Every structure is written in structure tokens, then in C-alpha cells.
Amino acid sequence: MNYIKRIQSSRTLYGVLMVVLLWYALHFTVRSAFIPSPHETFVNFVRIFPRTLLLHLLASLGRITAAVAFSVVAGVSAGLLIGMNRKIDRLVSPVIYILYPIPKVAFVPLFMILFGLGNLSKVIMIMSIILFQIIVTSRDAVKELTKELFYSAKSLGMNRPQLYRHLVIPAVLPKIITAVRISVGTSIAVLFYGENFATTYGIGYFITNSWSMVNYTEMFSGILGMSLLGYILFKVIDLIENHLCGWVKA
Amino acid sequence: MIDIRGLSVFYGKEKALDDINLSIEKYSTCAVIGPSGCGKTTLLYVLAGLVTPGSGKVIIDGTEQKGVRQGTAIVFQDYGLLPWKTVWNNVALGLQVRKYSKDFIKQRTHHILGVLGLEHLKDKYPSQLSGGQKQRVAIGRALAMQPDLLLMDEPSSALDAITREHIQDLVLEIYKSFPMTMVLVTHNIEEAVFLGKKIVVMGKACIKHVLDNPYFGDMSLRRKEEFYRACIEVRKWLDGGEER
């Protein structure tokens, strides 16, 4: 266990080192204010983190968490329902396939008119994108369950709720966690776009604002903060996965 | 114990079972043998209440079979274990589903794991077990529910020759120490002769012949000539059947 942890931590260290090296290389070859040096950025990051950056990051974290949480609850429920019921599948899946590929960011103005300029419209914009990934993933995970496992569960006398508790939900959980991981990545990217409208808080706003004020060091501090936020979110998901799906790695 | 009357099952237009009539005495065993695709697993699933008959009926212990019956337990060919549950939780699952008290479940699961020699594996997941161990857990899961009717689908077909005989010995021991009726489905002639007091030879969707096996119950049967004579008898029915 200790050994694995050490490899893991040194791998992270390796990743950080490589990025910093590349960053220095760019900084010295381009020789422009566009690309501040890593140490300069880091000093700036530490300075502005407690009073400025933290608030922007928390605002973004709140939006991402709300969007992912709502999408998981709604998307998994819908996905399981569609996967378990052939009639519903036939009615709903074609609609999903048509709506899924539409670029939802095109609807940002519409969302702002319908749901206001505040957090709600941003959360809904993220949801409109990641909800589909989660529905389709959980639907397919249910469909992959073999008939034999259903027979096995039914032979023990399971009723419908017990079937979900002991068979369906544990079976789809690892795949849902993968979908959440992808969704978090998508959310961060989408939010960056969404936070350019009608807000003064959020890491997306902070980065774009620093850029328009030609403060590249702050802009890079914001990017650093954003990548740290993503890293922490992925680590949290890993922890949840280890806790809930220990059997996958066993 | 079991009375099967005019049982037919259809999968779409295909007949899986065609007018089956069979009775199995209480506290005896019955081995159903036949080539793959003959409908023997379907027959077992009907007895388990998992497949609904197209026509005819199954009467178990005086009542007509409708859905899953409380006293029936089934051991599946692919073991039917839930991959996300440990050995302990797989064995306890049937009891949990039936809402027994926590103390009872704990005591009963402990007892069953002890009987099957699975104590040291209780925290393992099915993916960490060998085929023979998985089969023991599957048998444990069924036994935990104290069934009066135990159904088994190919109890040893996925196992190597030595493990296969161990599992067959185990099944016979279990039959001798727990009072219950046992029905097993197999395509292995030795298994049918070793574990079946009554041997039902099936052809496509139908019963070709029913043999009584006077040698059933002898733990050292495999070392005796009668065993092989009985095997040859079963083989003849399997190969030809109608012509005789």
C-alpha cells in the first residue's frame, strides 16, 4: 500500500515538474509579458489567493458542485428508468440522441432570459451539457447487466426496491463515477465560458478580466488556481470511488 | 414433492419444453441430463419460478407454483454471485432480503461458512476466488436460506476434474445432512449417476426416459463397477433412446 502511494505521489510530482519545465522553456523562448515565469506567477498566486482568488474559486466550485450533484441525481434516475424499461427506452432514447449533440452553449442567451442572470442560469447551462452524458452512461450500464444476475437476484425473492439496492445501483456505480469524472472536466471548461457573462465572481471571470486588464501574471495565477481546483475535484472523486467501489480493484 | 403436469414453455415460436410430465418424491434427488439446448435449464428455471410456463403446471408441496417460492433455493451455472458483495455478504444476502433479524443472519451465515470451510475467505470478493470456491459460496448462499427444495444448474461443469469430484462429494454430503429435495441439471453422465436417485434423460424439449438409480447415495460409488454400468446405461438412452 505504502509503495503504491509513493509511486502515486512521485508521479504527481513528476507531472508538476514536467509542466513547470515546459513553462520555463516557453517563458525563456518567447520572452514576452504574455508568459510570466512560474516563480513570478507562484508568488503572485500566494499573495492574491486568500483575499481574491479563493472567493472566485469558491464561486466556481459552488456552481460546479451544484450542477454535477443535480445532474447525477436526475441523470442517474432517468438513466436507470430508461435502462430498466424497454418501452420508456423506445420513447425517450431517440429524443436524447437528437438533443445530445446540440451545442448547448449556443443557448446561453436563452438561459439568461429564462433563468435570470445569476447562478441559476450558469448551473443550468452546465447541467444541460453533462446531464446527457450521465443519462446515457447509466442507461447503458443497466443494459449491460446480464439476465443471469437478474435471475440470481430474483431467485432470492427480491422485490423491486431490493433489486435496485442490491443489484442495479452497485452494478452501475463504477460507470457513473467515470461519467462524473468526465462531467467535472466538461463543467470546468463550460463554466469558464459561462462566467464571462453577467457576473463578477468565478474563476472564469477572474481570468478573462485579468486578461483584458493586461495583467498576465494574475491571469496565469487564475489558470493555476483553476487547474488546482480540477486536480482536487478529481482526487475527491478517486476517494469516493475507492470507498464505494472497492470490489472493482479487488 | 414436485408434480409437473403437461408443462410446455415457448421462447417466441420455439418450443423449449413440450408437454413434460414428471414427479419427484420428497427428500429424494433427481438428476436431469441431456445435451445442451434440450431445455433442461428452462425446466429448472420453471421449478425456481423464474420462467412462467406457457401451459401446464408445476405443483410443489401441494400448491401450484407461482413466482419465486420461499423454500426453494437455486445454485446457478455461473454461480450467480454478486461481484460487489464479499463472500460473507453474498451468503447473507438471501437472509437479508427476507428480513431476518441481524443476530440470526450473523449466526446463520457464520454457521454456513463454517460448514463449507469458507471462513477464511469471508472478506474476499467473488473475483478473488477460484471456480471451486465460488461454487461453494453459491451453495452456501442457497443453504443459508434453509431450503426444502434445492435446485442446481450444472453444479460442476465449469470446474476441473478434481474440483468437480470434490464439489459432487460436497453436494452428496449436504444432501445427507440437510433434509431436502434436490433437483440438478447436468450434461455430465458421471455426475447424474453419482447425484441422481432418479435420472431423467432428456432429448430436444422432451423426456426420453426416466431411470431409477439403485446405487445412489454411496460415497465410494466411483470406485465400483456398478457405477460404470449405470453410466453406460444412461449413455445408451442419451445416444439413442427412442430406437430401443
Per-residue pLDDT tens for A176-203?
Answer: 999 999 999 999 988 888 888 888 889 9
Is residue A22 domain-resident? no
CA distance A209 to chain B (A): 48
Helix axes B40-48, A147-155, angle to 10 degrees: 40
Q: What is the mean pLDDT of residues B123-149?
A: 94
A236 is in which domain, residue-wise?
50-241
Residue A105 has a pLDDT of 85
Q: Is pLDDT above 70 for B115?
A: yes
* DSSP code for B67: S
Buried-exposed string A133-144: b where 16+ CB fall within 10 A, e elsewhere: bbbbbbbebbee
**pLDDT on residue B244:** 41
Share of chain B above pLDDT 90, in %: 79
Q: Looking at per-residue confidence, does B157 or B3 come out higher?
A: B3
CATH number at residue A197: 1.10.3720.10
Please state, rounded to an integer, the average pLDDT across all residues of chain B.
92
The answer to whether position A196 is within a domain reads yes
Separation of alpha carbons B37 and B47, rounded Å = 17
Task: Please report whether residue A45 resides in a domain.
Answer: no
What's the number of domains chain A is made of?
Answer: 1
- Best CA proximity match to B88, nearest among B76, B78, B96: B96
pLDDT digits (tens, 9 = 90+) for B82-101: 999 999 999 999 999 999 99
For residue B77, give how far its alpha carbon lies from the nearest alpha carbon of chain A (Å). Answer: 9
Whole-number Å distance between alpha carbons of B130 and A21: 49
Residues of A in contact with B80 (CB under 8 A): 148-149, 151-152, 155
Region B50-58 average pLDDT: 92
In a domain? residue A12: no
Query: pLDDT band at A1, cuts 50/70/90?
Result: low
Domain-wise residue ranges, chain B: 81-146
Assess whether pLDDT exceeds 60 at residue B173. yes
A25 lies in some domain: no
Residues 220-239 of A with CB under 8 A from B: none
Does residue A247 belong to the interface with chain B, where contact is any CB pair within 8 Å? yes
Q: Which pLDDT value is given to residue A248? A: 87
Residue of B nearest to A245 (CA): B84
What pLDDT, on a 0 to 100 scale, did the predictor assign at position A3?
66
CA–CA dist B139, A157 (Å, integer): 17
The pLDDT of residue A162 is above 90: yes
Residue A228 lies in a domain: yes
If you write DSSP's letter for every residue of B195-243 in order, what string do you get?
Answer: H-SEEEEEETTEEEEEEE-TTTT-TTGGGSHHHHHHHHHHHHHHHTSTT
> CB of A162 within 8 Å of any CB in chain B?
yes
Assess if residue A192 is contained within a domain: yes
Q: What is the mean pLDDT of residues B57-63?
A: 91
Q: Does B128 touch chain A (CB under 8 A)?
A: yes
- Does the beta carbon of B76 lie under 8 angstroms from any beta carbon of chain A? yes
Domain assignment present for A35: no
Yes or no, beta carbons of A166 and B124 under 8 Å apart: no
Mutate to test the interface with A, among B46, B69, B84, B129 (most CBs of A within 10 A): B84
- Residue B22: pLDDT over 70: yes
Query: Measured between alpha carbons, how far is B221 from B236 in angstroms, rounded to an integer?
Result: 20
What is the least distance, in Å, from the CA of B152 to any CA of chain A? Answer: 12
Q: How far apart are CA B72 and CA B83, in angstroms?
A: 23
Pairing of strands B55-60, B63-64: antiparallel
Instruction: Please indicate whether, in this complex, the C-beta atoms of A247 and B127 are within 8 angstroms of each other.
Output: yes
Can you tell me which residue has the cell 478580466?
A: A209
Q: Give the count of Cβ contacts less than 8 A between chain A and B.
A: 61
